[in-house]
Amino acid sequence: MFDEHDFDDDEFSGGVFAQEIDGGRAGAYIRLGDRGIRARTSDGRDFVVPYEDCRLEMGGASGRMLFCRTSDRSLTIFTEDRKFPTALQRASSGGLFEQVEKILAAGRSRHRRNLLLGWGLVGAVLACLVGGYFALVWGARAAVVAVPFSVDEKIGETVTPSVIQEFGHELKDDDVDAFFQQIIDKLAPHTSVPQAKFRILLIDTDDVNAVALPGGTIMVFRGLIDAVETPEQLASVIGHEMTHVTNRHALRRIAQSVGLIAAFEIMIGDVGGIIALGAEVFQHAALSSYSQGDEHEADLGGVQLLHAAGIDPRAAAESLQAIPHLELHESVSWLVSHPNTTARVEAIEELIASLPPREYSPLDINLEDLRKQIAVAAGRDAPAKADDSPVESSDEPSDAESE
């Protein structure tokens, strides 16, 4: 039996098919619990499909209706709410993960087929309506996110020197790179773009910031490394930026700036215009912040990367709570340009609570050693070599000082 407290408070609109209902069908509000899916009709009757007896199908007139059936098909609960499949994955603690993934993958495949078909129709229309400015620009904005990931990489390569110059200068040190590579090696295998080649550039500035460029380059500012309290917090920021890269948030922003010439080039398959446009946008620092929707995706995507890599995802919330106590530079601050910190922490904690349990291992990175190595690379703290000959005490003034 299922009690009221077994179900969460989130409701999804939908309906239920059952023989005991007049007409066989009724509208219902759907809630998810630890053990099953409940539909409550307007007359107060409850119908429950246990997770272990649930069979999922996608269909309906729209093709987006998710049907949750018992194995004997005597009861079906259905909804078209787009948030429901992901919520179902979480609520079932992985029990329905594979079924939902197959359905979502099939839906994406149908979407791609429909997209290709749609573009074919759009192309035919555009061939008849050459010079249709608004139709052309609209088509390019939709197509830009379908261009190969190599376009992101080319934009990133093009803008890297100018972005470095804007924020400061790069500190190059093999030992520092080795610290960063440990984090990349942990997180990269779990990203959604396997071909992405991530690298981290250290920018010598006190600003508390990290910036993701299209294609996989991530700029981490020295001030951020001084601000975080644990290597896991640093990994959480890097995971956040990696999600910006794999979700192609920068390219989406570029699409909003598409003009007539670039639109035409994209539509005929020439991506040179979008590369040039992307470089220009970055050089004017227009992508130093993303939309709140992008940031929400990056927060949650970063948490999922940490969890998949076996790194405690609570570090994502901890980093947000630790950094605001520092003096931030509003022009480029990683936090100031992002949504409300309290809301972000709450969303992160909600996601963490829904993740399946697993053991986490601390990163084998010593932050103090990293900071010392960065100081050495910056020429601020060069330790004496072991074979250096003794020197006179610094208490005695040098000849230059005595003059």
Domain parsing of the chain, residue ranges:
4-104, 129-354
Element (H, E) at 31: strand 25-32
Among all chains, which residue has been given the structure tokens 């703290």?
Answer: 381
Q: With a threshold of 0.75, does the pTM exceed it?
A: no
Topology annotation, domain 4-104: PH-domain like (2.30.29)
Residue-level pLDDT at 152: 87
- pLDDT exceeds 50 at position 395: no
| Cβ-proximal residues to 305 (8 Å cutoff; 6+ apart), any chain | 187, 190, 191, 239, 242, 243
Sign of CA dihedral 187, 189, 364, 182: negative
| Cβ-proximal residues to 28 (8 Å cutoff; 6+ apart), any chain | 14, 15, 16, 39, 40, 41, 42, 47, 77
With a pLDDT cut of 70, the percent of the chain lying above it is 73
Question: What are the tens digits of pLDDT across the range 208-221?
Answer: 989 999 899 999 99
Whole-number Å distance between alpha carbons of 60 and 65 = 5
- pLDDT exceeds 50 at position 390: no
Is 365 strand, coil or helix? Answer: coil
Chain mean position to CA 30: 28
| Cβ-proximal residues to 284 (8 Å cutoff; 6+ apart), any chain | none
- pLDDT exceeds 70 at position 248: yes
Among all chains, which residue has been given the structure tokens 């119908």?
Answer: 47
Query: Smallest Cα–Cα separation from 329: which of 288, 281, 370?
Result: 288
